[in-house]
Amino acid sequence: MNREIEIVAGLLEKQDIGLAKEEILANIEIPPERAMGDYAFPCFKLAKTMRKSPVAIAGDLAQSLTVPMPFHKVEAAGPYVNFFVDRSYRVRNLLQAVLEKDAYGSADMGRGQTVIVEFSSTNIAKPFHIGHLRSTVIGNALRNIYKKLGFKTIAINHLGDYGTQFGMMIAAYKKWGDMDTIRRDPIPAMLDLYVRYNKEAEADPAYKEEARYWFKELEEGNPEAVQLWQTFKDLSLKEFSRVYDLLGIQFDSWNGESFYSDKMDAVIQKLEEKNLLELSDGARIVDLKDENMPPALIQKSDGSTLYITRDLAAAIYRKNTYDFDKNLYVVGAPQALHFQQLFAVLRKMGHAWADDCEHIPFGHIGMEEGAMSTRHGKVIFLEEVLHKAIDKTAEIIDARNPSLQDKETVAQQVGIGAVIFQELFNNRIKDYTFQWDRTLSFEGETGPYVQYTHARACSILARAEGAEIPEDVTPLTENEEAYRLIQAMDEYPDAILDAMQKNEPYLLTRQILEIAKQFNKFYNTTPILRAEGKARAAYLSLVDACRVILKDGLSVLGIEAPQKM
């Protein structure tokens, strides 16, 4: 919680207004216009208990309050009490926090707590396609946000490496497969087999039965099935690693569904001991009528397991292994019912920590090229999207700055950063369509715009040969564009905290963008390098602090910050 907001709440609590401090904190607002103050408290809720109009209450409170530093005045504006932070205090405090201390915006609030973030969770023997981008990028940003606030984080790639689909792959390979062809170009070759088998299965039910047979053989350890499955997995992971390297993402665990194959019997035994399993058409279920949900199917009539069986084993293993305080599943919104059932079954098993598990849903990503379907072979490979972003960025750089050193590296940093920023720009639950022109634009609300702002700050500092915290910060308090930038930078730690509390990386993305916008307004209205004396020193210190924050914010999002563009 922002220290200034805490002070405002404490001052109001002492006025005996009939609200607890928590209620006061929940009602403090940021005014829509900076001229109205830094914080505002609306008095509408007090009218009934204090038997006065909100305007009168606001006036009385403003007169009775004596505000300490960091505030320099408080005044009423209609039904609001507005608090104004002392400008010199704010500017000096910010510059010192950013330039004299490490890791501005970091905190130790998570010390001693462990957060598991499950994300990406690609399916082996299938394409790593554009649809996986959301989970991969949102999950990585959340991991970084929690880590910045002092939590121990465990990043898990819960690979889709088990299930009937692998029975299908084994059956398809035995009918039409050629290992030399698969090794030459693994994912497209395996996709072709998968698509062909699905097409045949739609016309002939015997194909589905054969797929189920081979998955059952895989579960029971048939050497041929296990060897083929392991080959498909090894080849897939080698292909996927190129995409993760491009995105700069690493995982602490690659334990996928297959890892829990020998742990499911214990889950089923526990369900039996709790008398939770019922028979339904030969299958075994957990009835969830009391939770207003359909039954959770735990075991098919042929004895094979399902996603939820493996997820139950995975959750229990994670608790026993990591003793997590939070267990986050960054998985698409269509899987909401699955996770509701999963958490409900865990609670019925007596695991109170089920309440520490949370599904982090997100919406659909579409491409201008049209809809995708792995089953029918209509996919857009994520690696191709990333390389296309790099190539398009390289073309822009050649047109704008052909003499730029290390163009290939910068093109990769900007191209990949553009894709990540576009993904993290909106509320995660919103659907959106990926658009090339918007994503790669150096103007407006994009990653390249923020990266270019960082590079601009670096260029200014290079020409000025560095910056130091000035003794006199008056030039920054009197320059309105400079002070608006200071205010935006001052809100950066709160944006990180807010993003963590709501599991919404876009809140941080928007704050970084706001800082970049305010910097460019300051840059366009202020002769930074032509200024002299105390003004020049103050302006350069602000540029340096902004550079630090932009680089840090981009890093938390998983984006690099080039010094030249």
Across 327-345, average pLDDT: 97
Instruction: Give 313's pLDDT tier (boundaries 50, 70, 90).
Output: very high
Q: Is 126 a catalytic residue?
A: yes
Going from the C-alpha of 385 to that of each of 7, 132, 434, 449, 452, the distances in angstroms are: 49, 12, 10, 20, 22
296 beta partners: 286
**Which of 52, 129, 348, 551 is the catalytic position?**
129
Instruction: Give 366's pLDDT tier (boundaries 50, 70, 90).
Output: confident
Domains of the chain by range and CATH? 3-85 (3.30.1360.70), 383-557 (1.10.730.10)
Q: Is 364 a catalytic residue?
A: no
In whole angstroms, what is the distance from residue 97 CA to residue 89 CA?
A: 12
Are residues 551 and 506 in contact, defined by beta-carbon separation less than 8 angstroms? no
Joined together, the tokens standing for residue 98 give: 């950013």
Joined together, the tokens standing for residue 506 give: 């876009």
- Between the CA atoms of 201, 203, 209 and 211, what dihedral angle is there, to the nearest 10 degrees? -10
The interaxial angle of helices 480-490 and 506-525, nearest 10 deg, is: 160
Give the residue carrying structure tokens 């088998």.
197
Distance of CA 317 to the CA centre of its chain: 24
Answer whether residue 1 shows pLDDT above 80. no
- Output the pLDDT for position 371: 54
Answer whether residue 263 shows pLDDT above 90. yes
**Residue 146: closest CA among 487, 512, 508, 490:** 508
Q: Out of 311-320, 348-357, 370-379, which region has the weakest mean confidence (pLDDT)?
A: 370-379
- Output the pLDDT for position 378: 60
Q: Give 279's contacts (C-beta < 8 A, 6+ positions apart).
A: 285
Tens of pLDDT, residues 74-124: 999 999 999 999 999 999 999 999 999 878 999 999 999 999 999 999 998
In whole angstroms, what is the distance from residue 444 CA to residue 170 CA?
A: 49
- CA-based max dimension of the chain: 85
Going from the C-alpha of 560 to that of each of 452, 504, 556, the distances in angstroms are: 11, 20, 9
Q: Is 351 a catalytic residue?
A: no
Across 364-368, average pLDDT: 79
Q: If DSSP states are collapsed to H, E and C, what string results for 41-100?
A: EECHHHHHHHCCCHHHHHHHHHHHCCCCCCEEEEEEECCEEEEEECHHHHHHHHHHHHHC
Judged by DSSP in three states, 18 sits in: coil
Joined together, the tokens standing for residue 557 give: 């999002």
Answer whether residue 299 shows pLDDT above 70. yes
Q: Out of 26-30, 33-37, 259-263, which region has the weakest mean confidence (pLDDT)?
A: 33-37
**Which of 52, 73, 126, 392 is the catalytic position?**
126
Tens of pLDDT, residues 528-565: 999 999 999 999 999 999 999 999 999 999 999 999 99
Supply the mean pLDDT for the chain: 93
DSSP labels, 279-346:
EETTEEEE--GGGTSPPEEEE-TTS-B-HHHHHHHHHHHHHHHH--SEEEEE--GGGHHHHHHHHHHH
Tens of pLDDT, residues 34-57: 789 999 999 999 999 999 999 999
Joined together, the tokens standing for residue 238 give: 């080698």
Answer whether residue 380 shows pLDDT above 90. no
Tens of pLDDT, residues 197-235: 999 999 999 999 999 999 889 988 999 999 999 999 999
Across 380-390, average pLDDT: 90
Tens of pLDDT, residues 387-439: 999 999 999 999 999 999 999 999 999 999 999 999 999 999 999 888 878 88
Instruction: Give 303's pLDDT tier (boundaries 50, 70, 90).
Output: confident
In whole angstroms, what is the distance from residue 448 CA to residue 417 CA?
A: 7
- Output the pLDDT for position 247: 97
- Output the pLDDT for position 372: 47
Tens of pLDDT, residues 237-257: 999 999 999 999 999 999 999
In whole angstroms, what is the distance from residue 466 CA to residue 473 CA?
A: 17
**Residue 457: closest CA among 542, 386, 557, 394:** 542
Tens of pLDDT, residues 170-185: 999 999 999 999 999 9
**Which of 132, 233, 326, 454 is the catalytic position?**
132
Are residues 99 and 548 in contact, defined by beta-carbon separation less than 8 angstroms? yes
Answer whether residue 314 shows pLDDT above 60. yes
Q: If DSSP states are collapsed to H, E and C, what string results for 380-441?
A: CEHHHHHHHHHHHHHHHHHHHCCCCCCHHHHHHHHHHHHHHHHHHCCCCCCCEEECHHHHCC
In whole angstroms, what is the distance from residue 558 CA to residue 421 CA?
A: 9
Judged by DSSP in three states, 215 sits in: helix
- Output the pLDDT for position 370: 59
